[in-house]
Amino acid sequence: MTTSTTNATDGLRTRRVPTERLTVQLTEIRDEGEPVVFLHGNVSTAAFWHSALPLLPDRYRPIAPDLRGFGGTDPLPIDATRGLRDHADDLAALLAALGIDRAHLVGWSMGGGVAMRYLCDHPATVRSLTLVNPVSPYGFGGTHGVDGTLNSPDGAGSGGGTASPEFVARLAEGDRGEDSPFSPRAVLANHYLKPPRRPEREDAYVESMLTTRTGDDHYPGDSVPSPVWPGVAPGTRGILNCLSPLHSRLDELHLVRPKPPVLWIRGEDDTIVSDTSMFDLAHLGAIGALPGWDGTPAQPMVAQTRHVLNRYAAEGGTVREVAVPGAGHAVHLERPEEFGAALLEVLSA
């Protein structure tokens, strides 16, 4: 059974769609047009796309699902040993339930990784791929070099044990305040966007973040001790482990056939997905924010993405990189006009 609600202010409607894998909550505007699927990032929901969906003209059908473990989608456990395939398979099941054979994909942060994983697994079904401040194709944390070489064979420095315990606790408690730099609202204000900019729908975004399921099966996931710095390695369950380079790599992206056009748009002042990420333990160690740093290099996240997309282009793909000055991690919220113009260009390519 499908139930739906409509927001009369912006024309958005939300409904839950049963699929062969799980029931997915999605937000949409219309039932016709070329499908454009918007995939949100970690610790967020489709709400972070609500201002972007109306940017598309009537020839397109924008769809923004909540990924498993977030928002109104069924909170099934995440098998991190499959990398991002739980999410990519969920997307395939949703598109099948909606009767969609081909779609444009737009992925932000972790959603960019899901979109890349889906493209590798289902290349003929993707019309175009837009990556918005995407997670590195080599996962988050625990690697060095543009080819994503593991810092340690056990993936140390990535996975569920790298999350801030205070941030996890405040998520679980439903903290809506800003009395700590680890509160969801403070993380939104200081890292999702570039300060001092604050989003118009800040309360709605905080509520979205607070839907994140916490624990070993979700955020941040489980972890195991490591004999090397920083002393923690990824486990096999949960969201940060499915983003670990131990489980999630996209070395084959340049081999897909056919190759849809790719847009890579990013804020130049992103502090989350960055070559000097404030969420990468190796960078935090290098600047003295974590004790015992042994010289492990920070992950060059942007350089890794560029390396992979350059290989994609060298194999015959079309790639456009748009770097937006003065924007942070959520460039689609901070600079909607530039984001919308670049997106429409690749959709019509």
- Quickly list DSSP for 139-172: -SSSEETTTTEESSTT-TT-SGGGS-HHHHHHHH
Q: What is the pLDDT of residue 5?
A: 56
Q: Specify the pairing of strand 103-108 against strand 126-132.
A: parallel
Q: What is the pLDDT of residue 1?
A: 39
Report the DSSP beta bridge partners of residue 105: 37, 129
Residue type, 329: H
pTM of whole model > 0.95?
Answer: yes
Query: What are the tokens at 272?
Result: 């989350």
Over its length of 349 residues, how does the chain's per-residue pLDDT go in tens digits?
Answer: 344 555 544 789 999 999 999 999 999 999 999 999 999 999 999 999 999 999 999 999 999 999 999 999 999 999 999 999 999 999 999 999 999 999 999 999 999 999 999 999 999 999 999 999 999 999 999 999 999 999 999 999 999 999 999 999 999 999 999 999 999 999 999 999 999 999 999 999 999 999 999 999 999 999 999 999 999 999 999 999 999 999 999 999 999 999 999 999 999 999 999 999 999 999 999 999 999 999 999 999 999 999 999 999 999 999 999 999 999 999 999 999 999 999 999 999 8
- What is the Cα gyration radius of the chain? 19
Query: What are the tokens at 118?
Result: 């889906």
Q: What is the pLDDT of residue 2?
A: 47
Q: What is the pLDDT of residue 49?
A: 98
Domains of the chain from N-terminus onward: 4-157+248-347 (3.40.50.1820)
For residue 41, the tally of other CB atoms under 10 A from its CB is 26
Q: What whole-number distance in Å separates Cα of residue 72 and Cα of residue 61?
A: 21
* Alpha carbon 286 to chain centroid, angstroms: 25
Question: Could you tell me the CA-to-CA distances from 141 to 43, 180, 194, 237, 245 in Å, in that order?
Answer: 17, 24, 22, 16, 7
Report helix, strand or coil for 290.
Answer: coil
Nearest Cα to 105, choosing from 16, 35, 58?
A: 35
Q: What is the pLDDT of residue 12?
A: 97
